[in-house]
Structure 1
Amino acid sequence: MNLQFDTLIFDLDGTLSDPKPGVVNSMNYALTSFGYPPRKESEIAQHIGPPLEKIISLLTDNTDEKHIDELIAKYRERYFEIGYTENSLYPEIRPMLEMLKAEKHRMGICTSKHKTIAERIVQRFKIDIFFEFVDGPTRKASKKSQLKKLLEAKIITKQSMMIGDRAVDLVAARSNSLASAGVLWGYGNQIELSKEKPKFLFKTPIELAQNFIEG
Structure 2
Amino acid sequence: MSTYEWLLFDLDGTLSDPAEGFVNSMNHALQFYNYAPRPAAQLTPHIGPPLEVTLAHLTGSADSTHVRALVDKYRERYGETGYAENTLYPGITDMLQQLSSIDGIRLGVCTSKRADFASRILEQFELHHYFEFVSGGDVGVAKWQQLGKLLEEKRIGQRTLMIGDRHFDLSAAARNGLPSAGVLWGYGSKEELDQHTPAYLFHHPSEILNIF
Quote the Cα distance in structure 2 between the aligned partners of 1:63 and 1:123. 36
Quote the Cα distance in structure 1 between the aligned partners of 2:60 and 2:167. 21
Residue equivalent to 1:6: 5
Residue equivalent to 1:182: 182
1:150-190 per-residue CA deviation (whole Å, 9 max, x = no partner) reads 00110000110100000000000000000000000000010
What code does the residue aligned with 1:30 have? A
Residue equivalent to 2:116: 116
Segments of 5+ residues of structure 2 without an aligned counterpart are none
SS in 2 for 1:3: coil
Segments of 5+ residues of structure 1 without an aligned counterpart are none
Residue equivalent to 1:78: 77
Instruction: State whether residues 50 and 168 of structure 1, in contact with CA within 8 Å, keep that contact through their aligned partners in structure 2.
Output: yes
Shift of 1:139: 4.6
Residue equivalent to 1:34: 33
SS in 2 for 1:107: strand
1:166 aligns to 2:166 (yes or no): yes
SS in 1 for 2:21: helix
| Greater than 2 Å deviation, 4+ residue runs | 137-140
Shift of 1:15: 0.2
Shift of 1:84: 0.1
Quote the Cα distance in structure 1 between the aligned partners of 2:85 and 2:140. 24
Shift of 1:33: 0.4
Q: TM-score, normalised by structure 2?
A: 0.97
Q: 1:62 to 1:138 in 2, by over 3 A?
A: closer
Residue equivalent to 1:54: 53
Instruction: State whether residues 165 and 185 of structure 2, in contact with CA within 8 Å, keep that contact through their aligned partners in structure 1.
Output: yes
Instruction: State whether residues 48 and 166 of structure 2, in contact with CA within 8 Å, keep that contact through their aligned partners in structure 1.
Output: yes
1:16-50 per-residue CA deviation (whole Å, 9 max, x = no partner) reads 00000000000000000000000010111001001
Quote the Cα distance in structure 1 between the aligned partners of 2:145 and 2:20. 28
Quote the Cα distance in structure 1 between the aligned partners of 2:202 and 2:158. 22
SS in 1 for 2:46: coil
Quote the Cα distance in structure 2 between the aligned partners of 1:139 and 1:20. 20
Single out whichever of 168-177 and 55-64 deviates more from structure 2: 55-64
Single out whichever of 39-48 and 55-64 deviates more from structure 2: 55-64
What code does the residue aligned with 2:182 have? G
Q: TM-score, normalised by structure 1?
A: 0.96
Single out whichever of 53-62 and 31-40 deviates more from structure 2: 53-62
Single out whichever of 3-12 and 101-110 deviates more from structure 2: 101-110
Quote the Cα distance in structure 1 between the aligned partners of 2:113 and 2:31. 22
Residue equivalent to 2:19: 20
What code does the residue aligned with 2:54 have? I
Shift of 1:140: 3.0
Shift of 1:127: 0.4
Instruction: State whether residues 100 and 212 of structure 1, in contact with CA within 8 Å, keep that contact through their aligned partners in structure 2.
Output: no
- Report % sequence identity: 49
What code does the residue aligned with 1:166 have? R
